[in-house]
Structure 1
Amino acid sequence: MSSNDIIVSLDIGTSKVRAIIGEVSNGTINIIGVGSADSEGIRKGAIVDIDQTVQSIRSAVEHAERMVGIQISDVYVGIQGNHIALQTNRGVVAVSNEDREIGEEDIERVVQAAKVVALPPEREIINLVPKQFLVDGLEGISDPRGMIGVRLEVEATIVTGAKTAIHNLMRCVEKAGLRISGVILMSLASGVMSLTKDEKTIGTVLTDIGAGSTTITIYEQGSLAAISTLPIGGEYVTNDIAYGLRTQSEQAEKIKLKYGCAFVADAAEDVKFKVTRMGSNVEKEFSQVDLASIIEPRMQEIFHLVRQEVRRLGYGDKVNGYVLTGGSVTMPGTLALAQAELESSVRIASPDYIGVRDPAYSSGVGMIQYVSKYMGVRGAAASTGKKTASRKSGTTASSKPGMFERLKNMFSEFI
């Protein structure tokens, strides 16, 4: 295994923390280990208790380690939330080679030039996504290496986030004894996994419905165009079930997963289940139709808010379809309800790898594909002996400079 590259992604969500181990061999990705743990200390996608979050990360990583029999030292961490913002900027440099051939150094310089942007002190750059390169005014170039020119420009989308949120996330991972190889915007990772090249070009809304929040990412003309996060998700459906059936949230979640249906028309009257009522030992029987009549209005509201947000962002008429992903879209009837509410073509995206064929794993698997495709495999875990040593030394002091160095050199992501 040490001869192949290992990439580990860490998806820290509101309901689950997932660690996914991918092995890259000759350009092919295999998912060899998956670990998940219940998320403690996170509300609506934001960290509210560092110690509990650290414990959840450790549990998920240990679960993945036991599955594969190796020790994880380095991880790529996904970030999302309503603090994420996009802005466009351009970088311009003169080609340095005497023969005017554009090389790696020129691309590095022009991307660094695009990163020179005025940011408030509380924000920092997470990712930089080149939209296109221009050589002597010629537009639409995706990779200018080897071309001849005098002036090189890049038009890029800069992804920024709140320093507090980024550093708290990094702090949790470091306290769990792991080194951070890179921080990746979840929506970018999900886009790599979930959307085709044509979907990114014609205008598509990638809607990731998690437990505590729904992330809306709009792709247009092949790149990231807009992003927004709504503080509503599958947790609200669970709360409605708990209230409607007068039972505990834990039991409501189990009922939702086993019997839930998002579309009343698709629910079966003859599917029955019993619920222990809160405050008594009496069990009451309900049908799947009863449950669906609680779930459908909340899911309708989520899709209504998604459509409203797309309009607010100014893409109401420019969108040619929706792609759904995230743990909350696995419920039967979700697709039919989404098509009715969004009045557009809708499909559900999920990874096509054994063991992770579930929309809940889209972000985690997407991060592995993203790293393999754009960032090259850096800081990936090597042999078992090295992992043990590096994990022990994965303290805050030793890992922080490496992390910022990597963020600083994110230019290589999309080239």
Structure 2
Amino acid sequence: MSSGEFIVSLDIGTSKVRVIVAEVTKESTQIVGVGSAAAKGTKKGAIIDIDQAVQSIREAVDHAEQMVGIDISKVFVGVSGNHVSLQSSHGVVAVASDNREIGQPDIDRVMQAAKVVALPPERAVIDVVPKQFIVDGLTGIHDPYGMVGVRLEVEAIIVTGSKTIIHNVLRCVEKASLSVAGILLLPLAASEICLSSDEKNMGVVLADIGGGATSLAIFEQGHLVSTAVLPIGGDFITNDIAIGLRTQSEVAEKIKRKYGVALVEESSKDVVFSVPAIGSNQESNVNQEEMALIIEPRVEEIFQLIRDQVESMGYSDGLPGGYVLTGGVMSIPHILVVAQNQLGEAVRIVSPGYIGVQDPSFTSGVGMIHYIQKRWMLRLAEPDGQGRSPQKDKRGPSPLERMKNWFFNEFI
């Protein structure tokens, strides 16, 4: 990988469109720019108005371009939603090289073999995630490159989605004068920075609570096993505040961010602010406790729905790793206490650790950067004394180029 290569993630959420620009080298990843815009033309993770969605994407990209000072032409797009499903698959190939050393072409072929599954015509493969490789019967191998063997197998998870929804997303990106470098499943990407290996192995729920929807992902034995999306999020809190205080949604969002707390007992009657009444020029004085009395019940309901959904997915006793929470709603002060009251003590909140994107609403976008880096851009050997990588040359096209080739063969 050349020094100073930029990769860009695009997260089209229900309430916000976020773009993150990262400069990636073999040694490090540096977030150098972000852009965001109000999401228009989307509902519950699907595009309902292409022109409005294109406008939102373009605004977010323009914002990021101004910050970084580069022209963005290619983006990696994240997807989620109830249209996504998972299924197990298995691929087998014979090692092709004369010396029986497993090379990148062998790994590519076995991954392609795993992708050959019977799918309904309305479904498309989003990703193929290897669970383990098997070399001549030896199991538990994470990277078989360079090993010697005759038979290479892979046990993988096939991530599929609705062709209609995916193609509409791609259409919006293309109409925004961008090309798609790849498409990723957001819960998998977010897990890169949210979950430890131990949590994934013992079993954990990752909940990304956004503005208009909450994405759930369950991991067990180190792998993603189930996903779901609930059509509820921070926008419902804002709507309750707007109705309760008889004000506009824009005003309700601003005062929620500035004065809102999720726990009534942590609020104060002494914190007083004025709220313009809808349909008039008059303003009313409201204290923080009055707003907390609106926020806390809705936050409790969100966590109750998360718990009920996890139970309906077959985990009535919970999971040993508990819950890991992220997303914009988790920025509300004292929300962790409410979450622990509803979900149990094994709950923690995760935010990205980068300057400028430490808000939990950026978790998915930053996770995409790490996922791309880990999966596709760091499979490079140590360079030799001349600054070249013999193994990279031996493997042929870079992992990123192989991903692009696969993506366009699949969707374009």
Same fold, TM exceeding 0.5? yes
Counterpart contact for 2:181–2:404, Cα < 8 Å: no
Q: Which moved more, 1:159-168 or 1:84-93?
A: 84-93
Measure, in 1, the Cα distance between the counterparts of 2:55 and 2:403: 22
Measure, in 1, the Cα distance between the counterparts of 2:253 and 2:174: 31
1:336 aligns with 2:337: yes
**1:165-213 residue CA offsets vs partner (Å, 9 max, x unmatched):** 1000000010010111000111111001211222211111110001111
Q: Secondary structure at the match of 2:211?
A: coil
Q: Secondary structure at the match of 1:367?
A: helix
Between the aligned residues of both structures, percent identity stands at 59
Shift of the alpha carbon at 1:310?
Answer: 1.1
Measure, in 1, the Cα distance between the counterparts of 2:404 and 2:159: 15
Instruction: Mark the CA change 1:407 to 1:344 in structure 2 (over 3 Å): closer, same or farther.
Output: farther
Q: Which moved more, 1:137-146 or 1:71-80?
A: 137-146
Measure, in 2, the Cα distance between the counterparts of 1:408 and 1:43: 26
Q: Which moved more, 1:120-129 or 1:269-278?
A: 269-278
Measure, in 2, the Cα distance between the counterparts of 1:333 and 1:314: 30
The residue aligned with 1:293 is 293
| Matches for 1:36-75 after TM superposition, within 5 Å | 36-75=36-75
Q: Secondary structure at the match of 2:54?
A: helix
The residue aligned with 1:148 is 148
**1:85-106 residue CA offsets vs partner (Å, 9 max, x unmatched):** 1111111222233333222222
The residue aligned with 2:11 is 11
Q: Secondary structure at the match of 1:130?
A: strand
Instruction: Mark the CA change 1:48 to 1:355 in structure 2 (over 3 Å): closer, same or farther.
Output: same
Shift of the alpha carbon at 1:377?
Answer: 7.9
Measure, in 2, the Cα distance between the counterparts of 1:251 and 1:319: 41
Shift of the alpha carbon at 1:146?
Answer: 2.2
Counterpart contact for 1:181–1:406, Cα < 8 Å: no
The residue aligned with 2:232 is 232
Amino acid at match of 1:126: I
Counterpart contact for 1:74–1:178, Cα < 8 Å: yes
The residue aligned with 2:374 is 373
Measure, in 1, the Cα distance between the counterparts of 2:371 and 2:11: 14
Q: Secondary structure at the match of 1:132?
A: strand
Measure, in 2, the Cα distance between the counterparts of 1:90 and 1:319: 28
Measure, in 1, the Cα distance between the counterparts of 2:259 and 2:83: 35
Q: Secondary structure at the match of 2:67?
A: helix
1:346 aligns with 2:320: no
1:221 aligns with 2:202: no
Measure, in 1, the Cα distance between the counterparts of 2:288 and 2:105: 61
The residue aligned with 1:118 is 118
Counterpart contact for 2:264–2:289, Cα < 8 Å: yes
| Matches for 1:274-293 after TM superposition, within 5 Å | 274-293=274-293
The residue aligned with 1:382 is none
Q: Secondary structure at the match of 1:269?
A: coil
Shift of the alpha carbon at 1:408?
Answer: 6.4
Instruction: Mark the CA change 1:295 to 1:89 in structure 2 (over 3 Å): closer, same or farther.
Output: same
Q: Secondary structure at the match of 1:70?
A: coil
Shift of the alpha carbon at 1:279?
Answer: 3.0
Instruction: Mark the CA change 1:223 to 1:408 in structure 2 (over 3 Å): closer, same or farther.
Output: farther
Measure, in 2, the Cα distance between the counterparts of 1:126 and 1:207: 21
Measure, in 2, the Cα distance between the counterparts of 1:26 and 1:86: 31
Measure, in 2, the Cα distance between the counterparts of 1:403 and 1:222: 23
The residue aligned with 1:313 is 313
**1:355-386 residue CA offsets vs partner (Å, 9 max, x unmatched):** 111101111111111111111289xxxxxxxx
The structure with higher relative contact order (CA 8 Å, sep 6+) is 1
Measure, in 2, the Cα distance between the counterparts of 1:7 and 1:105: 25
Measure, in 2, the Cα distance between the counterparts of 1:109 and 1:3: 29
The residue aligned with 1:180 is 180
Counterpart contact for 1:40–1:52, Cα < 8 Å: yes
**1:328-379 residue CA offsets vs partner (Å, 9 max, x unmatched):** 111011111111100131111111111111101111111111111111289x
1:241 aligns with 2:238: no
Measure, in 2, the Cα distance between the counterparts of 1:134 and 1:326: 37
- TM-score (ref. length: structure 1): 0.89
- TM-score (ref. length: structure 2): 0.90
After superposition, the CA RMSD in angstroms is 1.9
Q: Secondary structure at the match of 2:192?
A: helix
Counterpart contact for 1:322–1:344, Cα < 8 Å: no
The residue aligned with 1:396 is none
Measure, in 1, the Cα distance between the counterparts of 2:94 and 2:316: 40
Shift of the alpha carbon at 1:315?
Answer: 2.7
